[in-house]
Structure 1
Amino acid sequence: MKNAILYLFSIVVLFSISISFKNPPSKTTGVGAKAPKSAEVLFDGSREMLDTKWTYWEGPRLSAELPIKWKIVDDPVNKGTAVNSNDPTAAGGQYGTADIVTKKKFRDFRLHIEFLIQREKGNSGVYLQNRYEIQVLDGDSTSHGMATVINETESPYFAYNGVRKWNAYDIQFRAARFENDILTEKPMVTMYFNGQKVHTNVQINKVWGGKFSGLDGGNDDGKGITDRPGGIKLQAEGHPVIYRNIWIEELDLKEANTDF
């Protein structure tokens, strides 16, 4: 009897394992997350997509000239290609001189983006609506450091995979709301860093970094946010930080809640 029970138990376990291999759980956040059918791929590693969907941000400090000088490079970890943000125009940390931004503009969205910092202290940044920076900065765990909603949160440095390894941000963002051109609801963001939820419904108070940083940065010290959509921007800081697997899903978040 005991042997029969053990036999039946082993059959159940093997059947469960078999089912789990046939139907693995879907990976929706973290490194390697694939774009759902409802999403738009913004960068697939190709030069063609870079030139088709991106351009230099025409901010007050722009010095670079098209075509985009960010180079397509071999992925140092996996098969495929990525884009290197080390534009020569931005050498020495001249942000705003050679930042790239999507030609398409967005309001509410879910964004996935992967980055790899090739050297210690590497610096770049991911901008939501070309306004609100999610920091990319090795070695900094302050409120201005890695994976912060810059100057609005502490750094979840514990979730960072480190240099020369791929990292992923999964972000759900709700744009500011206005009535009669008056700000009524602040922009809000929830974020996963390498599959770990690190920020939940963070309200963003202003555009940081001044007029060279992004849209509205020069309006009332960044507090003069306007009701216009903006693109996804990647910052050139003169460092070898590379990007791949960028996709976005447009949303319409009626309620002030970005949790996912």
Structure 2
Amino acid sequence: MMEDALALGVGAKPTDEAEMYLDGTREMLDEKWEYWEGPRFSGEYPIKWMSVEDQETGQWVVSSNDPGGKGGKYGSADIVTKDKFKDFRAHVEFFVATPGGNSGVYLQNRYEIQVLDGDTTSHGMGAIINETPSPYHLYKGIGQWNAYDIQFRAARFDENGELTEKPMATVYFNGAKAHTNVKINQVWGGENSGLDGGNDGGKGITNRLGGLKLQAEGHDVLYRNIWIEEKDFTEPDTDF
């Protein structure tokens, strides 16, 4: 009952206040997404992520296997929502087709929720990367649809731009709570990973807004049913 009431897990429908950002169609991909043009960007428009038909369900889904990401060059062909966010709730469904499939979901184009088959470490599947253990036991595995449901509160700053409160996230993985009110310490992965990755080793977080980003690493990882609801968390609490 809880999963249905909170609209969690695979197949969860958008809340009344949410906007659909990826329904699997080419039209929505082009309308609401763009490449992140970071230091390593090598993609070419139109976006080379392909809209393909899921043979099992007949639904349209989007493949992250952009040629620009071959060889695991994250940051070379990642896509990010054109809309930028402060606090939000997001629902993301993904499908890993082959062993070792690698991608990632980035909050505010900074903080990665890892998508990496076979890795059970703090750099692995379902981890808030390098900040939490991997809740690998919640992963359905290769050839199955999986879902993240996330509430995120952006970092807070004083009038001089100094950091006063760290960013925070609560994450459900396939309908089960995996992380609760985790304070995120930095951007990991360097300047090619996302906004502020090159500032003070990733610790120099700024108040620039960022979109929801999906990572291209040249793997067969598919995405569908991504929706986002903007929030305003006045208190440092993202639990739901």
TM range (shorter): over 0.9
Q: Which runs of 5+ in 1 are unaligned?
A: 1-19
Q: Which runs of 5+ in 2 are unaligned?
A: none
Q: Name the % identity.
A: 67
| Aligned match for 1:176, one of 152, 155, 176 | 155
Aligned-pair distance for 1:184? Answer: 0.3
CA deviation digits over 1:99-118, x for unaligned, max 9? 00000000000000000000
| Aligned match for 1:132, one of 99, 102, 111 | 111
Counterparts of 2:50 and 2:206 in 1: how far apart (Å)?
A: 33
Counterparts of 1:104 and 1:82 in 2: how far apart (Å)?
A: 20
Q: Which residue of 2 aligns with 1:52?
A: 31
Q: Secondary structure at the match of 1:140?
A: coil
Aligned-partner residue type, residue 122 of structure 1: G
CA deviation digits over 1:150-186, x for unaligned, max 9? 0000000000000010000000000000002000000
Q: Which residue of 1 aligns with 2:76?
A: 97
Counterparts of 1:77 and 1:220 in 2: how far apart (Å)?
A: 46
Aligned length in residues: 238
Counterparts of 2:134 and 2:76 in 1: how far apart (Å)?
A: 26
Q: Are the aligned partners of 1:27 and 1:34 in contact in 2 as well (CA < 8 Å)?
A: no
Alignment of 1:149-228 (within 5 A): 149-179=128-158, 180-228=160-208
Q: As a proportion of its length, which structure holds more helix?
A: 1
Q: Secondary structure at the match of 1:224?
A: coil
Q: Which residue of 2 aligns with 1:8?
A: none
- The alignment's C-alpha RMSD in Å is 1.3
| Aligned match for 1:144, one of 113, 117, 123 | 123
Q: Which residue of 2 aligns with 1:75?
A: 54
Aligned-pair distance for 1:89? Answer: 1.1
Aligned-pair distance for 1:67? Answer: 0.5
Q: Are the aligned partners of 1:174 and 1:189 in contact in 2 as well (CA < 8 Å)?
A: yes
Aligned-partner residue type, residue 144 of structure 1: H
TM-score (normalised: structure 2): 0.97
* Structure with larger Rg: 1
Counterparts of 1:199 and 1:77 in 2: how far apart (Å)?
A: 31
- Report whether the alignment pairs 1:233 with 2:213: yes
